[in-house]
Amino acid sequence: MQALDDVKVLDFMWVMAGPTATRVLADYGAQVVRIESTRRIDTARTLAPYHGGVPGPESSGIFQNLNVGKRMLTLDPSRPEGREVVLDLVRWADVVTESFSPKAMRGFGLGYDALRAVKPDVIMLSSCLMGQTGPLASFAGYGNLAAAISGFSNLGGWPDRPPAGPFSAYTDYVSPRYITAAILAALEYRRRTGCGQHIDLSQAEASIHFLGPALLDYTVNGRVAGRVGNRDRDLAPHGVYPAAGTDRWVAIAVDGDAQWRALCDAMEQPALAGDTRFVTAADRHANADALDAAVAAWTAGRDMHDVEVLLQARGIAASAVQNSGELVVDPQLLHRGHFQQIPHPVHGTTTIETSRFHLSRTPAHITGPAPTYGQDTNAILTDVLGYDDDRITALVTAGVLE
């Protein structure tokens, strides 16, 4: 038995955040049927990384990574016959998810009220950038915009430079956890009460919680956070230091005076341990530039993995700054089974990430690759909805299954 094998999800979500959330449900056994229209290709199919670095609608590694274990029905929901198919799937589903801009589902005649009319206890979750209401409700876009408008982008980088931001569409990686948790909590409530509901999840509003302390520093203390490079409030040294090779780095975070002395010992620089500029954390913060220079002078030319092992042996937090080539052979990630090779109908095999957390008794299980275009359309219409050949032929003839 899988943990969620009694959960059925009709999934209109696309691009990154939404599919990331329903991927977790699929990992733990939920039946997830995605709707994709050839008239509106899933943007994720156009995003890198690609197999062999070559773009193509069945070549996107991120589309693969976010959609394994789901089935896909190719359908145009804007057509009346398409809407009827959707409503049949709504009757089948426990949960309906969508991440269009707020007017789209109502435009298809598939707003919450329409769904509830055919399935009174349906749980519908709508995820969009800014929420279903308010002056910016119709403002659609990608996670890099929500990251900007909710305060993340301005904070990453150096005080003397323009913002560097967190990587790309940051809130697309934050909000999926809130989406999945919201769905599971609503299912729990429905189990006890029989009541479904509509959940309006704004990617910006959910993600803002990841900036909590800095926001309270403003609402309570009036202080507006800015860019500080890699400086930390408490730890020093705390930074990313050059290692041997081109653009190779090692991160080091020193917690307390004893660890500082241990670092000096590891660096074989007893004079540094006695240097009055660096004795206490307050000293080290006050002289952080000189401190970073002293550490960088030692790391430069050393192998980043040698440094992390040397320092970790002394209990000092350190890690090579790993790229995908190092991550795919990282012994800890391998021990955790973080990567999995699965068969792929176009590429032979592909590699995906597995569940980020482990359940001891009902572990995640990858059932198969992400669907190719229209791969499951017939099977879903036949097995899930019980349509006969004549009805399916009529839908094909009407051009609804595109």
Partner 1 sequence: MLSPYRVLDCTNARGLLCGQMLADLGADVIAVEPPGGSPARRLGPFADDVVDPDRSLVWWSYARNKRSITLDLERPEGRDIFRRLAASAHFVIESDDPGVMPARDLGPAALDPSLVYVSITPWGQTGPKAHWADSDLILLAAGGPLVLTGDDDRPPVRLPVPQAYLHASADAAVGALIAHHERQRSGRGQHVDVSAQQSVAQATQSYILCAALGAPEVRRTAGGLKNGPLTLRLLFPASDGHVAITFLFGSAIGPFSRRLMEYLYEQGACDAATRDKNWLEYTQLLLSGAEPLEEFERVKRVVESFTRSRTKAELLAAAVARGLVMAPVATLDEVVASPQLAARDYWQPMAHSDIGRSVTYPGPFAKFSATPLRWRRRPPTVGEHNAEVYAELGLDVAELERRGVV
User: In the window 164-203, what residues touch partner 1 (CB under 8 A)?
Assistant: 164-170, 172-174, 176-178, 180-182, 184-189, 191-192, 195-202
Q: Which of 33, 128, 236, 352 binds partner 1 (CB under 8 A)?
A: 352
Residue-by-residue DSSP string for 103-145: HHHHHTT-SHHHHHHH-TT-EEEEEESS-SSSTTTT----HHH
Footprint (CB under 8 A) of partner 1, residues 276-305: none
For the chain, report the end-to-end CA distance as a whole number of angstroms: 35
Q: Which of 87, 225, 244, 310 binds partner 1 (CB under 8 A)?
A: 225
- Residue 277 and residue 95: Cα distance in Å, rounded? 60
Task: Give the H/E segment covering residue 285.
Answer: helix 281-286
Q: Which is nearer to partner 1, 219 or 276 (CB)?
A: 219
| Distance in Å, CB of 267 to partner 1, minimum | 17
CA distances from 317 to 35, 234, 264, 274, 351 (A): 45, 14, 14, 22, 30
Q: Which of 360, 388, 390, 397 binds partner 1 (CB under 8 A)?
A: 360
Backbone angles phi, psi at 83, to 5 degrees: -60, -40
Told to check if 265 binds partner 1 by CB under 8 A, we report: no
Q: Which of 106, 279, 302, 339 binds partner 1 (CB under 8 A)?
A: 339
Q: Which of 27, 76, 172, 292 is catalytic?
A: 172
Footprint (CB under 8 A) of partner 1, residues 362-391: 362
The bridge status of strand 123-128 relative to strand 31-36 is: unpaired
Dmax over CA atoms of the chain, in Å, equals 86
Q: Which is nearer to partner 1, 177 or 391 (CB)?
A: 177
Q: Which of 221, 282, 390, 397 binds partner 1 (CB under 8 A)?
A: 221
Told to check if 148 binds partner 1 by CB under 8 A, we report: yes
Told to check if 219 binds partner 1 by CB under 8 A, we report: yes
Told to check if 157 binds partner 1 by CB under 8 A, we report: yes
Footprint (CB under 8 A) of partner 1, residues 5-34: 6-7, 16, 20, 24, 28
| Distance in Å, CB of 90 to partner 1, minimum | 17
Told to check if 149 binds partner 1 by CB under 8 A, we report: yes
Q: Which is nearer to partner 1, 11 or 381 (CB)?
A: 11
| Distance in Å, CB of 208 to partner 1, minimum | 5
- Is residue 256 left, alpha or beta, with left meaning phi > 0 and alpha meaning psi from -120 to 50? left
Told to check if 147 binds partner 1 by CB under 8 A, we report: yes
Known catalytic residue: 172? Answer: yes
| Distance in Å, CB of 270 to partner 1, minimum | 22
Q: Which is nearer to partner 1, 220 or 271 (CB)?
A: 220
Any residues with CB less than 8 A from the CB of 157 and at least 6 apart, and which? Answer: 163, 164, 165, 227, 229
- State the number of binding residues for partner 1 (CB under 8 A): 164
Residue-by-residue DSSP string for 71-94: EEEE--TTSHHHHHHHHHHHHH-S
| Distance in Å, CB of 291 to partner 1, minimum | 14
Contact letters for partner 1, residues 36-55 (x by CB under 8 A): -----xxx-xxxxxxxxx-x
List the one residue out of 83, 99, 89, 108 whose CA is nearest residue 32. 89
Footprint (CB under 8 A) of partner 1, residues 74-133: 112, 125, 130-133
Told to check if 240 binds partner 1 by CB under 8 A, we report: yes
Footprint (CB under 8 A) of partner 1, residues 318-337: 318-325, 327-328, 330-333, 335-336
Cα 275 to its chain centre, rounded Å, is 44
Q: From the CA atom positions of the chain, what is the Rg in Å?
A: 25
Residue-by-residue DSSP string for 148-159: HHTTSTTTSS-T
Cα 88 to its chain centre, rounded Å, is 30
Work out the number of other CB atoms within 10 angstroms of the CB of residue 274: 11
Candidates 67-75, 216-224, 378-386, 394-402 — which segment interacts with partner 1 by CB under 8 A?
Answer: 216-224
Q: Which is nearer to partner 1, 91 or 314 (CB)?
A: 314
- Residue 267 and residue 310: Cα distance in Å, rounded? 9
Question: What tokens appear for 76 in the block?
Answer: 């145009």
Q: Which is nearer to partner 1, 162 or 397 (CB)?
A: 162
List the one residue out of 42, 58, 38 whose CA is nearest residue 50. 58
| Distance in Å, CB of 278 to partner 1, minimum | 19
| Residues tagged active-site | 172
